[in-house]
Structure 1
Amino acid sequence: MRAAGAQRGRVKRARLADVDPSLIRPALAGLVPYEPGKPVEEVQRELGLERVVKLASNEGPYGPFPAALEAIERATLELNRYPDGGAYRLGQALAERYGVRFEEITVCAGADAIIGYLSLATLGPGDEAVTGWPSFPSYVLDPLKVGGTPVRVPLERGRFDLEAILAAVTPRTKLVFIAAPNNPTGTTNTRAELDAYFAAVPPHVLTVLDQAYFEYVDDPDYPDGIAEYAKAGRRVLVLRTFSKIFGLAGLRVGYGVGSEEVVTAIAKVRRAFDVASVGQEAALASLGDHGEIERRRIANREAMALLTQTIRGAGLDFAGPAVGNFLFVEVGDDAETMHGALLRKGVVVRPLGPFGAPDALRITAGTPEEIDFLSKTLSDVVPAFR
């Protein structure tokens, strides 16, 4: 028999001992923890649904590359051993791939972890980190965690306003975060705009150019931050990830390319065994499969066209041009209510209040079958909001 007070499979139990309030740093008092999208299994259990489609977290809709699956199977035989704390083989492969030194590569448990470690390594009370807004919450949350001051610069027509960001830089600014493309709007800046920014940004500032969706973008005006800025001598840390097109989001592997001094500082605050051995091996096996990357890039291009058609067909607006694998759908004050209505029908999308956009939803381009399910669900849900 379920214990009294139990809900949704959770049993009510007595609280453990409280701690003195002064134990927790004051800088954390106003923080709201990042809320990931709900897992499919949880939505099915809570709502009693047979089919649930998750289009909330900008994951690639396909699993690991075939070579990565083989590497994962081999790596499981050594799971009694700690992973390589320095990710030596993966770091060497990345250094060779990009033509930089091993000491200029940092490998961590996702690009998001690098943002956190960099904030810990560089920011103190009162130090500033400037970013466009709305954007990825970690650009704000991680500086706040260490007592830093995030400076939010409003987007211009859904894109980072790089001139306004430069104007927001002060002598206390240490970091500028630029998402290209931006999450959650899916838009990006041109090469000319980024060139002008890097030519003007003061030398005391480190720019973090987040290119998590790099492999999806096929716009010829989209710059390669490693080749065009890091290797050109700009003070920049370029972030990339294996979570998106490589299909390894569940293994958490990201990397950054930047100066040896920055990489060394990150290593000083990074956990000793940050990236699991399975993740390292899967990432390493994925690097050389250019054919699979191209196949997935083409599949994403087709999925984005289908998603765009679906959203337009439902009479909804979105930011653009979107160059990643998701759309920023503008629904006004009904965003949270529409999110709930879609959820009850089995479609998980992302409400964007934590990203600074409470009037919008982010919808990921899934498989054609998933987008078809979304289309049918929108035709049921949207008329109630007209």
Structure 2
Amino acid sequence: MTTQEQLPRFRAAVRELVSYRPEKPALSPEGRSYALAANETPFGPLPEVARAIQEQIGGINRYPDNGGQALTAEISERFGLAPDGIALGCGSVGVTQQLITAVAGPGDEVLYAWPSFEAYPLLTKLAGAVPVAVPLREDVHDLAAMAAHLTDRTRLVFVCNPNNPTGTAVGRAELEEFLGRVPPGCLVVLDEAYHEYVRDKEVPDGLSLLPGRPHLVVLRTFSKAYGLAGLRIGYAAGHPDVIGTLRKAYLPYSAGSLAQAAAIAALRSGEEVARRTDLITAERARLTAALEGRGWRLPASEANFLWLPLGERATAFGAHCAAAGVSVRAVAGAGVRVTLGLPADNDAFLAAAASFPPA
């Protein structure tokens, strides 16, 4: 038997971490399963994406373009960004790790709202930095409270907009005021993983906030609306000097050739992506109305999921849904996040929720 003394010595920050654990697939007594836990799109590959992947298969014995020049050029042209202000990564979570690695070291603080994207504290601790979580106010970022938590040790601030897991979003005026309060030496990261699902005109496109703000970086991903969760590709946009430094923390070749080609094809499939996101936002409105009509209280979502702030009843509701074959994401002591799927999936969730008292 291997003893503790025989094992290599790992850093304390790593030993104390709890690994990310996705929800286990649920199965109903009839053998049915409804995957509403991971914020994926329920739609299959875009036709152009499937063709692009097929065309790339013959070259997978070769390393991908480490600089991602073709994809960078496509993003640059589509969104009016300078190519040297774009950095690719292994999903936006990969870029998140690059940012923390590049900016925050031992003793430095990384500030974020809570609950929010669960990778923020994990990756911060992995870097040896200090996570600082500021509670949401009524399920929304409390930017005033976050500004009050800024110190001379704060190196990085994450604002997830719309926020995961609550789906809430903050508007342009609030964001601009907050950005004005953050000192220039502190980097603000606007995480827009769910930007394509936003329909509230008060919520800005983060890319429009970049000019004149070198301390701002915007994150985007192809995992959600574009349907490339299995390929892991995302990017950051910001000031060229900041992005140039960020690229130094890039794990070589981590944006694979299939992912890069698929992302280009996805960007060129804008009309179909818009049609699909419109279908999801229509389901968002339908489920919100149905739940509110049954007495549920939930915040307005601008993402492809809903948030039920159930507090201590969250785990029980998650188990209740799982018994009906519906996988949802329960955050113990806080609430339950429900990804919006196809109408039949969503109806299965509503049927499960109907037999659980809202309060």
TM-score, normalisation: structure 2: 0.94
CA distance in structure 2 between the partners assigned to 1:188 and 1:375 by the alignment: 24
8 A contact 1:82–1:273 mirrored in 2? yes
Task: From 333, 349, 358, give the equivalent of 1:374.
Answer: 349
Q: 1:17 to 1:93 in 2, by over 3 A?
A: farther
CA distance in structure 1 between the partners assigned to 2:273 and 2:343 by the alignment: 18
Work out whether 1:99 is the aligned partner of 2:80.
yes
Match of 1:90 in 2: 71
8 A contact 2:214–2:238 mirrored in 1? no
8 A contact 1:84–1:277 mirrored in 2? yes
The Cα shift of 1:231 comes to 2.5
The Cα shift of 1:234 comes to 4.1
CA distance in structure 1 between the partners assigned to 2:301 and 2:45 by the alignment: 24
Q: 1:20 to 1:261 in 2, by over 3 A?
A: farther
Supply the AA of the counterpart residue of 1:330. P
CA distance in structure 2 between the partners assigned to 1:314 and 1:371 by the alignment: 15
The Cα shift of 1:314 comes to 4.6
Work out whether 1:24 is the aligned partner of 2:10.
yes
The Cα shift of 1:256 comes to 0.6
Task: From 23, 29, 33, give the equivalent of 1:37.
Answer: 23
Task: From 325, 330, 334, give the equivalent of 1:346.
Answer: 325
Work out whether 1:332 is the aligned partner of 2:307.
no
Match of 1:7 in 2: none
Q: Secondary structure at the match of 1:265?
A: helix
CA distance in structure 2 between the partners assigned to 1:51 and 1:310 by the alignment: 23
The Cα shift of 1:339 comes to 1.0
Q: Secondary structure at the match of 1:156?
A: coil
CA distance in structure 1 between the partners assigned to 2:49 and 2:186 by the alignment: 37
Q: Secondary structure at the match of 2:337?
A: strand
The Cα offsets for residues 237-265 of structure 1, whole Å up to 9 and x where unpaired, read as 10011111111111111111012233233
CA distance in structure 2 between the partners assigned to 1:113 and 1:61 by the alignment: 23
Task: From 210, 220, 224, give the equivalent of 2:191.
Answer: 210
The Cα shift of 1:140 comes to 1.3
Q: Secondary structure at the match of 1:144?
A: helix
Work out whether 1:361 is the aligned partner of 2:340.
no
TM-score, normalisation: structure 1: 0.88
Task: From 277, 286, 299, give the equivalent of 1:306.
Answer: 286
Q: 1:378 to 1:92 in 2, by over 3 A?
A: same
CA distance in structure 2 between the partners assigned to 1:348 and 1:119 by the alignment: 31
Supply the AA of the counterpart residue of 2:178. Y
Moved over 4 A (4+): 15-22
CA distance in structure 1 between the partners assigned to 2:236 and 2:306 by the alignment: 26
Match of 2:56 in 1: 75
Q: Secondary structure at the match of 1:251?
A: coil
CA distance in structure 1 between the partners assigned to 2:56 and 2:20 by the alignment: 31
CA distance in structure 1 between the partners assigned to 2:23 and 2:240 by the alignment: 35
8 A contact 1:349–1:361 mirrored in 2? yes
CA distance in structure 2 between the partners assigned to 1:133 and 1:344 by the alignment: 29
Supply the AA of the counterpart residue of 1:83. P
8 A contact 1:300–1:365 mirrored in 2? yes
Could you say what the CA RMSD is over the residues aligned between the two structures, in angstroms?
1.9
For residues 284-323 of structure 1, what are the structure 2 equivalents within 5 Å? 284-318=264-298, 320-323=299-302
Unaligned stretches of 5+ residues in structure 2: none
Match of 1:60 in 2: 41
CA distance in structure 1 between the partners assigned to 2:165 and 2:321 by the alignment: 19
Supply the AA of the counterpart residue of 1:34. Y
Q: 1:234 to 1:270 in 2, by over 3 A?
A: closer
Supply the AA of the counterpart residue of 1:268. K
The Cα shift of 1:359 comes to 3.0
CA distance in structure 2 between the partners assigned to 1:379 and 1:185 by the alignment: 21
Supply the AA of the counterpart residue of 2:175. L
The Cα shift of 1:64 comes to 2.2
8 A contact 2:113–2:136 mirrored in 1? yes
Supply the AA of the counterpart residue of 2:228. L
